[in-house]
Amino acid sequence: MIRLSTHTNAQTSSKVFRFIAVVQLIILLGLLPGCGKKEETNSDQLFKISFQTDWYPQAEHGGFYQALIEGYYAAEGLEVEILPGGPNTGSKELVALGKVQFAIGKSHDVLIQASKGVPFVMAGALLQHDPQALLFHKENPIHGFKDLDGKRIMAGTGTAFVELLRRKYQIEFELLPLDYGLGQFLRDKTFIQQCFITSEPYYARIQGANPGALLIKESGFDPYHVWYARTDFALKYPEIVEKFSRASIKGWQEYLFGDRSKADALLASLNPKLDEEFIAYSVGALIEHNLVTGSTGQPTAIGQIDPERIAAEIKQLNELGFMDGLVEVNSVLTESHFRK
């Protein structure tokens, strides 16, 4: 059965963040959904999954919609509802509070929450490399990160890459809060802002700008984008996590290297801002920069997470001062990532 949701959760992260520090204790007491009575999972009944994405439906979610519409989840015995996100979705809180079983997030965000005692585990990677970039006008050329010294940049406040850029390149810049729009950029050719390489350069170009982009991953900060679950759910239902991951990976392999027309039509029906040309641009960027497959460009790499890379990310976050406690690699990855 295909389940879709067009509801965007507008609850702000700040409204529920106060609960997150006590989630681990609540889980231990068995008071959250999924921690008490065991759900029925017989062969005649599909296991219901709510999956929270990080933004409105887009090509960066294409593999999941491919798995949905092609029946890959149903073939694994899952009834998956994909919930669209937005700027104030609060995905981490929804997972922590047991409102959804899986969500999309960045690996460094999952690790930071784990260091606070929030028990999350990463099940697979939809993006091997971070698509975040800094968007600039080519009339105001930025050749490298050192050129950011003294500039004004609109980016997410409190983000790890901002601190890394300041420390690694010994630069200072004025930081403006991210508003998720292109208005200021289009009005000011000296303006620089955080973007996704799969999205904003396209819209800037069709509105008359001549944009360039500097990928954040080139600085050495390169988190995965992952689907993750609460640890107790993964321990209770390891076969469900495996099935969801297997179907998602198959969906991504088919979306990038097969016929994606039905998934694209579904995405466009759910998000009126999508059209054929923009979807083609986004998919092209995913492929050009090996964002889903990693440097090998091979379908077999899709979904994989390297424990050594996660260990290096933990070390980097510790050095930047973002970790509140010790995090072991094997506590934040499902067992499948340690198999040879």
Sorting pLDDT into bands at 50, 70 and 90, what band is 325?
very high
Average pLDDT over residues 305-326: 97
Cα–Cα–Cα angle for 99, 227, 119, rounded to 5 degrees: 60
Q: How far is CA 275 from CA 54, 59, 180, 208, in A?
A: 20, 11, 20, 19
Over residues 278-291, the pLDDT tens digits come to 999 999 999 999 99
- The answer, yes or no, to whether residue 22 has pLDDT greater than 90, is no
- The residue whose two tokens read 């080519």 is 138
Q: Give the model's pLDDT for residue 3.
A: 56
Whether residue 91 contacts residue 52, with contact meaning beta carbons closer than 8 Å, is answered with yes
| 54-81 per-position pLDDT tens digit | 999 999 999 999 999 999 999 999 999 9
Strands (E), 179-297: 192-196, 211-215, 225-230
**What pLDDT is stored for residue 159 in this prediction?**
85
Asked if pLDDT for residue 30 goes beyond 90, the answer is no
Please report the pLDDT score of residue 87 as a whole number: 84
- 3-class state of residue 173 by DSSP: coil
Cα–Cα dist 81/163, whole Å: 36
Return the higher-pLDDT residue of 340 and 41. Answer: 340
The candidate with the shortest Cα–Cα distance to 33, out of 80, 94, 119, is 94
Tell me how far CA of residue 116 lies from CA of 20, 156, 225, 233, in angstroms.
9, 21, 20, 19
What confidence score (pLDDT) does residue 11 get?
Answer: 39
Q: Quote the CA–CA distance of 211 and 139 in Å, as a whole number.
A: 9
Length of the chain: 340
The band of 158, judged by pLDDT with boundaries at 50, 70 and 90, is confident
Q: How far apart are CA 67 and CA 77, in angstroms?
A: 13
Percent of the chain with pLDDT over 70: 87
In order of 129, 195, 219, the CA distances from 81 in angstroms are 26, 28, 36
**In contact, 1 and 80? CB cutoff 8 Å:** no
- Which of the listed CATH numbers 3.40.190.10, 3.40.50.720, 3.10.20.70, 3.30.230.10 matches domain 3-129+223-338? 3.40.190.10
Structure letter (DSSP) for residue 53: -
- The residue that leads in pLDDT, 18 or 85, is 85
Q: Summarize the confidence of residues 243-257 as an average pLDDT.
A: 98
- Predicted local distance difference test score (pLDDT) of residue 89: 87
Give residue 9's pLDDT.
42
Average pLDDT over residues 175-185: 94
Tens-place pLDDT, residues 299-313: 999 999 999 999 999
- Domains of the chain, by residue range, sit at 3-129+223-338, 135-219
Is the distance from CB of 267 to CB of 57 less than 8 angstroms? Answer: yes
Neighbours of 60 (CB within 10 A): 24
- Give the mean pLDDT of the chain: 89
Cβ(336)–Cβ(157) below 8 Å: no
- Residue 265 above 90 pLDDT? yes
What superfamily in CATH does domain 135-219 come from? Answer: Periplasmic binding protein-like II (3.40.190.10)
Residues 6+ apart with CB under 8 A from 21: 116, 117
Question: Do 17 and 93 contact (CB within 8 A), yes or no?
Answer: yes
Helix 62-69 vs helix 261-270: angle between axes, to the nearest 10 degrees? Answer: 110
Token representation of residue 203: 């819209």
Is residue 220 pLDDT above 70, yes or no? Answer: yes
CA distance 75 to 235: 22
Cβ atoms 176, 152 nearer than 8 A: yes
pLDDT at residue 24 in the model: 39
